[in-house]
Structure 1
Amino acid sequence: MAATYAYWIATALLSLLYLTSATMYIAKREWVRQNLAGLGYPGYLVPVLIAVKIFAVVAILSRISVPLSDLAYAGIFYHLLLALLAHLGVRKPSEAIPAVVGLVLLTVSFATQNVARATPSPYEVIAAIHPLPLN
């Protein structure tokens, strides 16, 4: 029961983080372009990121397809990792806090999804059957 609550709370907060970010990208488009340029990314990524963030949240919450949901988790993971590294790379660690929070929420959501959802993701089973060696 606790894992189900953890899944829904983490997933809701992660979704809120991503939808808030997409809304900010729409409302403050020029400011976002400037900040992305300061991190070394081109401004034409803004509309792509808006769409991808919204579609990722929809894919995870609706779970119309488990592989699509898992792909959304992977995309969010790489986006948050790149965001974290970009902020650290320009020596602005305080601006990387949302990415760290997002990574924690993503980890909890992905790790507990099979407990809370009717259709399980196959990747948790693979990890349990074939554990990584410790040495």
Structure 2
Amino acid sequence: MKNKNKIFYYVVTGLFSLLIMGGVANYIFQHEMVVGFFEAMGFPPNLIYYMATAKVLGVIGIWQTKSKVLREWAYAGFTFNLLLAVFAHLNVSDGEQWGAVIGLVLMSTSYFLVKKIEAEKA
């Protein structure tokens, strides 16, 4: 059972990481489009750079194994980011909240699996 949980954790966390890094790639390579989205939601465009940096650091924080506290903060940051993204998209009624909803499901699954794996080690 331990190996199944680890494999499922790596798959789910990998998919979550790809989703997040895909967003970061959009921030960089489709910057003007993202600026339009941010402005439509009432956010300042310079927030894009901070969000991209935070997301890259968050993915690193989730995958690193040295600090459980850092991992917890990374998951917490993604929770706030994704919840706020869902509500921001709902607020402007653009129908784009589903990426954030999928991200929340993947992130939550990853979080509970890592907790289960840590409990199995103890």
Q: Which residue of 1 aligns with 2:101?
A: 100
Q: Which residue of 1 aligns with 2:24?
A: 22
Q: How far does the alpha carbon of each residue in 1:21-68 deviate from its partner, in whole angstroms, 9 at most, with x for none?
A: 111111111211111111111111011011001000011111331111
The secondary structure found in structure 2 opposite 1:22 is helix
The reply on whether 1:48 has 2:58 as its aligned counterpart is no
Q: Which residue of 2 aligns with 1:82?
A: 84
The reply on whether 1:109 has 2:106 as its aligned counterpart is no
The secondary structure found in structure 2 opposite 1:63 is coil
Q: Which residue of 1 aligns with 2:12?
A: 10
| Count of residues in Structure 1 that have an aligned counterpart in Structure 2 | 119
Percent identity over the alignment is 34
Out of 19, 33, 36, which is 1:34 matched to?
Answer: 36
Give the AA of the match of 2:30: K
Counterparts of 1:99 and 1:29 in 2: how far apart (Å)?
19
Bigger Cα displacement from structure 2, 28-37 vs 47-56: 28-37
Give the AA of the match of 1:105: L
Q: So what's the TM-score if we normalise by structure 2?
A: 0.89
Deviation at 1:91, TM superposition (A): 1.1
Bigger Cα displacement from structure 2, 62-71 vs 3-12: 3-12
Give the AA of the match of 2:82: L
The question of whether the paired residues in 2 share the 8 Å contact of 1:6 and 1:108 is answered with: no
Deviation at 1:7, TM superposition (A): 1.5
Give the AA of the match of 1:66: K
Q: Which runs of 4+ in 1 moved over 6 A?
A: none
Instruction: Please report the RMSD computed on the Cα atoms of aligned residues, expressed in angstroms.
Output: 1.8
Counterparts of 2:65 and 2:53 in 1: how far apart (Å)?
17
Counterparts of 1:113 and 1:43 in 2: how far apart (Å)?
34
Highest Rg: 1 or 2? Answer: 1
The secondary structure found in structure 2 opposite 1:109 is helix
